[in-house]
């Protein structure tokens, strides 16, 4: 048996540990937190969207520029394999009306308990409260409550996560120990809007349901949430990457909202017709929710003289910045794929492999994030087994 060190007890690291241990290797998983998979457990509060059921070609397109680098791993461990793996842990899944796949328990804790029991049965050792601080020659160096620890391993697999939700463990500190790292940036995050005090006080925390958002030629239907500092939610996250890049380039970006995408302009104009009615009552008659009505009024109070029927169909929302990594669902940037060979091994450090969100890719919410973490964990583990065998 070889001694293999896995750094990071998130989905990618634990999946890699399982593959390695099933192959008969001696595996130790190190993590800086007191317990494993903290971010997975938090994600499970929203139902734990494991993957998506859409056709694989369309699924792969969700990874944009990183598709070519991720495609071999995801084809080798596709959504159907992830569902089968989940069911093998006794966790049945179901596919929602949107095509997203969830465990029937709608939370992560039962799956994680079953998974950790399997890993324990395979002999995987978990070492919490071990923060990696780079290499000491060929040995790994950790800071622990008992002091500095050196660990030598026949192979190392890095699955240290990105930099979003740093309080849960992945703070991006590993970037200082590696070369060829693209800057870590927030992904799947909300954006800042300079609301008037009146609008903020009345509508912060209210949803915008069944709307459509448009930016740079792309349109997404879904929901959003007004926050005290701006706007967030699934439909916003789907456009987050181009919005973020536009703000970095130009300082601001204008998002367009269709507050009644199910009505065309003539039908909306007919519903808005009403003599003697105030604008609020006209908009209410047209089926707009209170927060949507507030948005139209906010625009008009700001000096927008666009007729209401046109404003409802294309309301401009000026975004002045992106939420930071501390509130982002995921992160962009990370270890560049050019630094890895096809086995997910670092070219500059043979015997060291990398997987998961610490790699330079991003994807929208909808199951694509976890799928790529699991799939690259499998691919990096298989790469390590192949390298050890060679």
Q: Say if residue 123 is in the same domain as residue 272.
A: no
pLDDT tens string 46-88: 789 999 999 999 999 999 999 999 999 999 999 999 999 999 9
Q: Which domain holds residue 68?
A: 3-186+329-389
Q: In what order do the strands lie in the sheet with 139-144?
A: 131-136, 139-144, 147-151
- The count of domains in the chain is 2
Q: Are residues 160 and 227 in the same domain?
A: no
- Domain co-membership, 202 together with 229: yes
Share of the chain above pLDDT 90, in %: 91
| Residues 66 and 207 occupy one common structural domain | no
Say if residue 38 is in the same domain as residue 158.
Answer: yes
Domain closes at, from 266, 287, 322: 322
Per-residue pLDDT of the chain (390 residues; tens, 9 = 90+): 789 999 999 999 999 999 999 999 999 999 999 999 999 999 888 789 999 999 999 999 999 999 999 999 999 999 999 999 999 999 999 999 999 999 999 999 999 999 999 999 999 999 999 999 999 999 999 999 999 999 999 999 999 999 999 999 999 999 999 999 999 999 999 999 999 999 999 999 999 999 999 999 999 999 999 999 999 999 999 999 999 999 999 999 999 999 999 999 888 988 888 666 788 998 998 899 999 999 999 999 999 899 888 999 999 999 999 999 999 999 999 999 999 999 999 999 999 999 999 999 999 999 999 999 999 999 999 999 999 997
Q: What region, left, alpha or beta, does residue 185 occupy, with left being phi > 0 and alpha being psi -120 to 50 degrees?
A: beta
Is residue 119 within 8 Å of residue 6, measured between CB atoms?
no
- Asked if 168 and 33 sit in the same domain, the reply is yes
Residues in the chain: 390
Q: How far apart are CA 85 and CA 91, in angstroms?
A: 9
Task: Pull the structure tokens for residue 70.
Answer: 């991720």
- In Å, how far from its chain's centre is CA 364? 6
Give yes or no: residues 82 and 228 share one domain.
Answer: no
375 in the same domain as 301: no
CA angle (357 as vertex; 342, 360 as ends), nearest 5: 60
**Does 268 lie in the same domain as 296?**
yes
Of the candidates 322, 357, 374, which is a domain's last residue?
A: 322
Please give the DSSP secondary-structure letter assigned to residue 140.
E
User: Based on the domain organization, do 224 and 255 belong to the same domain?
Assistant: yes
Q: 367: which DSSP letter? A: S
221, 303: one domain = yes
Q: Same domain, yes or no, for 171 and 30?
A: yes
Q: The domain spanning residue 12 has which CATH number?
A: 3.50.50.60
- Given 283, 306, 322, which residue is the final one in a domain? 322
């Amino acid at each position: 048996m070889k001694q293999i060190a896995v750094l990071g007890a998130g989905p990618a690291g634990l999946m890699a540990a399982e593959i390695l241990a099933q192959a008969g290797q001696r595996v130790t998983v190190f993590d800086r937190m007191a317990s494993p998979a903290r971010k997975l457990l938090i994600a499970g509060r929203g139902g734990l969207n494991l993957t998506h059921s859409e056709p694989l070609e369309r699924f792969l397109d969700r990874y944009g520029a990183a598709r070519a680098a991720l495609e071999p791993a995801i084809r080798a461990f596709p959504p159907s394999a992830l569902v089968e793996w989940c069911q093998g842990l006794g966790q049945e899944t179901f596919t929602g009306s949107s095509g997203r796949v969830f465990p029937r328990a709608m939370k992560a804790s039962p799956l994680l308990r079953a998974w950790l029991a399997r890993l324990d049965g395979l002999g995987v050792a978990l070492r919490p409260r071990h923060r990696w601080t780079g290499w000491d020659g060929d040995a790994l160096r950790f800071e622990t409550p008992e002091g500095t620890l050196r660990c030598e391993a026949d192979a190392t697999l890095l699955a240290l996560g990105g930099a979003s939700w740093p309080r849960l463990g992945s703070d991006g500190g590993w970037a200082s120990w590696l070369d060829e790292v693209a800057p870590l940036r927030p992904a799947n995050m909300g954006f800042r809007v300079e609301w008037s005090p009146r609008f903020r006080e009345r509508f912060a925390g209210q949803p915008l349901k069944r709307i459509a958002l448009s930016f740079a030629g792309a349109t997404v239907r879904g929901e959003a949430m007004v926050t005290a500092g701006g706007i967030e939610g699934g439909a916003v996250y789907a456009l987050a990457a181009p919005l973020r890049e536009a703000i970095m380039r130009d300082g601001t970006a204008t998002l367009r909202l269709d507050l009644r995408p199910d009505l065309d302009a003539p039908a909306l104009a007919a519903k808005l017709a009403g003599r003697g009615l105030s604008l609020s009552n006209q908009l209410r008659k047209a089926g707009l929710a209170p927060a949507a009505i507030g948005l139209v009024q906010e625009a008009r109070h700001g000096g927008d003289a666009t007729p209401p029927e046109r404003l409802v169909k294309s309301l401009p929302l000026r975004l002045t910045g992106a939420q930071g990594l501390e509130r982002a669902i995921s992160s962009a940037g990370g270890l560049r794929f050019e630094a890895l060979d096809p086995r997910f091994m670092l070219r500059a450090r043979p015997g060291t492999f990398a997987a998961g969100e610490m790699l330079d890719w991003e994807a929208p919410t909808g199951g694509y994030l976890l799928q790529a973490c699991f799939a690259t964990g499998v691919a990096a583990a298989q790469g390590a087994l192949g390298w050890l065998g060679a």
